[in-house]
Amino acid sequence: MAEEIKVHRSFFDFREEEWNALVPDDSVFQEWGFLSTLERTGCIQKGRDWEIFIFAYWQDSQLVAAFPLYQRSDSYGEFIFDFQWANAFHRAGISYYPKFTSCVPFTPVTGQRVLISGSLNQEKKEKIIKSLLEYAKEFGKESQISSVHILFCKEEELSLGVSVGFHPRLSHQYHWLNQGYNDFEHFLSSLVKERRKTIRQERKKIKESGILLETLVGEQIEAAHADLFYSFYMDTHSKKWGQAYLNREFFREIFKIMKHRIHLVLAKSPQGEPLGGSFNFLRGEYLFGRYWGALSYVPNLHFECCYYQLIDYAIQNQLKRVEAGAQGEHKFLRGYEAVPMHSLHYIYHESGSEAIYRYLEKEIEMERANIEGYNAHSPLKALRQV
C-alpha cells in the first residue's frame, strides 16, 4: 500500500467531494466550498498574507487526510492572540514572522484541524494525525518558519499534538448549549429571575417597535441578499476593525455555492426597509453566528438578531449548539456558557520557546479558574454556585 504526504498550495488541487468526505458535521468552515471561495476571491491566496500550505496524506492515490495551514506575516484574523510574543521576539532581535497557523481564516471557531477519513480505525487515525503534525514541524524548520500554531482545535487533537512536542494553550468562548428545551420560554426558565426579566423586556421592545424579523435558509435566500449582508458586514467592520477581511466577491460567491449552509436573520422597518441582520452558517446540529451589521442604530436589535433568533431556531430544530464567535460579555449574560478553547504551539527558537512555554503553563491555570469563575456566576441556574 503506497502512502505519502504531499504539499499543496491551493484548495483547487482537490476535488470538492474528496475534500468534503473528510469534514465532520461541526466543521462547516472547513468545507471545500468555504475555503476555496476565500482563495478564489483573493481573501487568501499565494503571494498574500494568508499563503496556503496543505499537507495531504495520500493512500494509493486516495486522499485520506488533509492538514491546511497558512504562512502568516502578522497575527490579525486569528483571535488567539500572540502579539505580545511577537513584540518580545522583536525586542530581542528575533524574527517571529513568518509563522505557520492552522485555523479557519478570520473565523474564531472550533473545529477539527486535521481532516481525516471516518472509515479508518482509531489507531490508524492517530498515527496519520501525528505523522502530519510531525511533518508540519519539520517542514516549518526547513522553511525557516519561527513557529507552528494550531488554533481552536478539538480536545481529542490536543493530546496527539502534545505527544509530538506541541505545547497546549487554553482560552475560552461562550456557547449556547441546548439542554433539551421545548421552546424559548422553557430556556428562559433555566435562567435566574433578573435575567429572564431583562431578556423579556428586550424582546418586547423590538416587537413593540414594529420591526419585522425574517429567518431565511436555503432556497429562501436570494442573490440580492449577498450585497445587502455585505453592506451590513462593512458597516460593522468599519466601526470596529478598520480594514475588512472579506470582499464583496466573497459574499456573492458564497451565497451561490453554499446557500444550503447559510442562515440569515433579516430585520426590516415597519415599512419593509432593511435595517440590519446576522449572517450565520448551519451544518448538522450546529449553528454558527458569524457576521452582524445594521444600517441604523436600533436598541436591542443586535441581541435579537445575533442571540435570541438563533436560540429560537436552534430549539425549534433541535440543534445541539450555537457558537457566536469571539468575545462574550453580552453572550454570557444571555445564557451562553463559558467553554474551553484549545490550541497548540511549537516555537523553534530555544530560549524564546522556553519563556513562552512557561507562560502557557501559568496561563492554563488562570484560564481554568476563569472558566470556573464565570460559570459559577452564570445566569444559568444549573451552573450557578452563588
Averaged pLDDT, 320-338 = 90
Smallest CA-to-CA distance from 340 within 204, 186, 180, 153 is with 153
- For residues 96 and 240, which has the higher predicted lDDT (pLDDT)? 96
> Is the pLDDT score of 64 beyond 90?
yes
**The residue count for the chain:** 386
Percent of the chain with pLDDT over 90: 91
Element containing residue 184 per DSSP (H, E) = helix 184-188
The Cα 244–Cα 242 span in angstroms is 6
Question: What does the block give as the cell for 162?
Answer: 502534545
pLDDT of residue 199: 98
The Cα 133–Cα 247 span in angstroms is 32
DSSP letter string, 282-349? EETTEEEEEEEEESS--TTHHHIIIIIHHHHHHHHTT-SEEE--S--HHHHTTTPEEEEEEEEEEE-S
| Cβ density class 352-381: b for 16+ within 10 Å, e for less | bbeebeeebeebbeebeebbeebbeebbbe
Could you tell me the CA-to-CA distances from 373 to 85, 320, 369, 370, 384 in Å, in that order? 27, 24, 6, 5, 10
CB 348 within 8 A of CB 147: yes
> Is the pLDDT score of 379 beyond 60?
yes
pLDDT of residue 242: 57
Chain centroid to CA 228: how far?
Answer: 23
Mention every residue, 6+ apart, whose C-beta is less than 8 A from residue 149.
78, 80, 82, 99, 100, 101, 102, 103, 343, 344, 345, 346
Chain centroid to CA 111: how far?
Answer: 7
SS3 state of residue 21: coil
- For residues 89 and 326, which has the higher predicted lDDT (pLDDT)? 89
pLDDT bin (cut points 50, 70, 90) of residue 129 is: very high
* Amino acid sitting at position 126: E
Averaged pLDDT, 263-272 = 97
Percent of the chain with pLDDT over 70: 97
The Cα 346–Cα 136 span in angstroms is 10
Smallest CA-to-CA distance from 334 within 221, 175, 186, 180 is with 175
Ranking 20-34, 141-155, 234-248, 275-289 by mean pLDDT, the lowest is: 234-248
Q: Give the number of other Cβ atoms within 10 Å of residue 220's Cβ.
A: 12
pLDDT tens digits along 213-262: 999 999 999 999 999 999 999 987 655 555 688 999 999 999 999 999 99
pLDDT of residue 328: 77
pLDDT of residue 239: 58
> Is the pLDDT score of 362 beyond 70?
yes
pLDDT of residue 238: 58
Averaged pLDDT, 109-121 = 95
The Cα 131–Cα 134 span in angstroms is 5
Chain centroid to CA 238: how far?
Answer: 21
All domains of the chain, ordered by start, with CATH? 3-172+340-375 (3.40.630.30), 179-319 (3.40.630.30)
The Cα 292–Cα 210 span in angstroms is 20
> Is the pLDDT score of 208 beyond 80?
yes
Mention every residue, 6+ apart, whose C-beta is less than 8 A from residue 178.
314, 315, 318, 319, 320, 321
pLDDT of residue 237: 61
Averaged pLDDT, 10-15 = 98
> Is the pLDDT score of 48 beyond 80?
no
Averaged pLDDT, 82-92 = 95
pLDDT of residue 171: 96
> Is the pLDDT score of 46 beyond 70?
no
pLDDT bin (cut points 50, 70, 90) of residue 386 is: low
Question: What's the pTM?
Answer: 0.95
Could you tell me the CA-to-CA distances from 72 to 12, 77, 149, 177 in Å, in that order? 20, 10, 11, 33
SS3 state of residue 181: coil
> Is the pLDDT score of 293 beyond 70?
yes
Question: What does the block give as the cell for 277?
Answer: 441582520
Question: What does the block give as the cell for 169?
Answer: 494553550
Cα Rg for the chain, rounded, in angstroms?
A: 22
> Is the pLDDT score of 193 beyond 80?
yes
pLDDT of residue 240: 56
> Is the pLDDT score of 182 beyond 80?
yes
* Amino acid sitting at position 83: F
pLDDT of residue 157: 95
Question: What does the block give as the cell for 372?
Answer: 470556573
Averaged pLDDT, 86-91 = 95
Mean pLDDT (the chain) is: 94
> Is the pLDDT score of 300 beyond 60?
yes
CB 185 within 8 A of CB 355: no
* Amino acid sitting at position 260: H
pLDDT of residue 333: 94
Averaged pLDDT, 334-360 = 96
pLDDT of residue 329: 84
Averaged pLDDT, 1-8 = 92
The Cα 137–Cα 362 span in angstroms is 24
